[in-house]
Amino acid sequence: MKKIILDVDTGSDDAIAIMTAVLSPELDVLGICTVNGNRCVENTTENTLRVVEYIGSNVPVYKGCALPMVVSLTKGRRECVPFEGQKNKKEDVHGDYLPIPESTITYEKECAVSWLVKTLMDSDGDISLIDVGPLTNLAMAMRIQPGIIDKIDTLYIMGGGWREQNITPAAEFNFWIDPEAAKIVINSGCKIVMVPLDATHAGAISIKDAMELREESSPGAKLTAALIEQRLKGYNNWQPMQDQTTVPIHDALAVCAAIDMDVLADVRYIHVDVDAGGGICDGQSVCDVEHKDKEAEPNVHIALNANVGRFAELLKTTLKRTV
């Protein structure tokens, strides 16, 4: 089994990602870190605990950063009341809380960032990270202890976009929420597999798959079916896909890539950087697909497409399982 740590801002697609990771026979989830993003960290942590308890898992949950590193310090750069900032556009896609019972379990006492530093430093370099929210926790950990960079086996990131964006004309949501964190992590030197919007939109899952999952008895399958339906409504209001019977489940694609890279397609090894300048391109991932900058070394394996058939199959097989 591949040892992994998840970093999430749960969220409907994060919830599906968590269930996929925990239920996969290929992955050994050591812990789940939460962060501000889709909702404030109180909500994303409660949602994470709900999912973990709902599927009967005992994976520990560590509460992480409540605010991005610095973006909210500059007046006017971001309306960065993390909760209010996204309320209008994204409430249908995620809701404030997941539609499952309130948690009765609690998160660990240690904060996510210090747990991450300790766990990676004590490891033999055999832990991979799957980060599907803003990269605040990991960037903080890298600043506190740069030694962790060489300890990360592979870092899978859901974030950024080459030709696809979703929160501003230039930026994807996770990178936009904390551009400095994204810049630190992308330029850190660790082995990165980036799963941007180009791949997650190409890997949009159909409502037919949700119907199939609804027929299954496992809690993971049932909740996923409900969340896909919720997401489909939200996306069709907010950002419809070309085929309006399909919807991206961004974060689950990054988890599936850690299980089987064949869910991704057109993977290139290129130079990526992140704009954190505070202007209209704030949070943009600048992906040098055509190798325009001859000086810049490749630093990211980026997927520009997805193998949606393989992704849907892997998702369905995994979510039918129980703990």
Q: State the greatest distance between any 2 C-alpha atoms of the chain, in Å, as a whole number.
A: 54
- What is the smallest separation between the CB atom of 45 and Ca ion, expressed in angstroms? 13
- What is the smallest separation between the CB atom of 270 and ligand BDR, expressed in angstroms? 20
Among 197, 245, 249, smallest CA distance to 227 is for 249
Between 103 and 200, name the residue whose CB sits nearer to ligand BDR: 200
Site for Ca ion in 236-255 (CB under 5 A): 251
Between 94 and 301, name the residue whose CB sits nearer to Ca ion: 94
For residue 87, the tally of other CB atoms under 10 A from its CB is 11
Q: How far apart are CA 80 and CA 238, in angstroms?
A: 21
Site for ligand BDR in 48-87 (CB under 6 A): none
Alpha-helical regions (H) of 24-169: 41-54, 82-85, 87-94, 112-121, 136-144
Segment near ligand BDR (CB under 6 A); pick from 10-18, 19-27, 232-240, 271-279: 10-18
What mask, x for binding ligand BDR by CB under 6 A, covers residues 107 to 126?
--------------------
What mask, x for binding ligand BDR by CB under 6 A, covers residues 155 to 184?
---x-------x-----xxx----------
- Considering CB distances under 5 to 8 angstroms, the limit depending on partner class, which of ligand BDR, Ca ion, none binds residue 7? none
Between 94 and 271, name the residue whose CB sits nearer to Ca ion: 94
Between 16 and 71, name the residue whose CB sits nearer to Ca ion: 16
Which amino acid belongs to residue 260? D
Tell whether residue 198 is a contact of ligand BDR (CB under 6 A): no
Two structure tokens written together for 220: 């993971």
Q: Which residues pair with 158 in a beta bridge?
A: 195
Between 11 and 82, name the residue whose CB sits nearer to ligand BDR: 11
Please identify which of the residues 9, 198, 282, 288 carries the catalytic annotation: 9
Site for Ca ion in 106-165 (CB under 5 A): 132-133
Tell whether residue 14 is a contact of Ca ion (CB under 5 A): yes
| Element of type H or E holding 302 | strand 300-306
Two structure tokens written together for 51: 């999912």
Two structure tokens written together for 312: 């849907």
Tell whether residue 11 is a contact of Ca ion (CB under 5 A): yes
Q: Is position 9 annotated as part of the catalytic site?
A: yes
Q: How far apart are CA 22 and CA 138, in angstroms?
A: 21
The length of the chain, given as a count of residues: 323
Q: Which residue among 23, 67, 132, 181 contacts ligand BDR (CB under 6 A)?
A: 132
Between 103 and 166, name the residue whose CB sits nearer to ligand BDR: 166
Cis bond before residue 11 (omega within 30° of 0)? yes
* DSSP letter string, 303-323: EEEE-HHHHHHHHHHHHT---
Q: How far apart are CA 130 and CA 81, in angstroms?
A: 26
Q: How far apart are CA 268 and CA 61, in angstroms?
A: 33
- The count of chain residues that interact with ligand BDR, using the rule CB under 6 A, is 13
Catalytic annotation, residues: 9
Residues that bind ligand BDR (CB under 6 A): 11, 13-14, 38, 132-133, 158, 166, 172-174, 250-251
> Which chain residues interact with Ca ion by CB under 5 A?
9, 11, 14, 132-133, 251
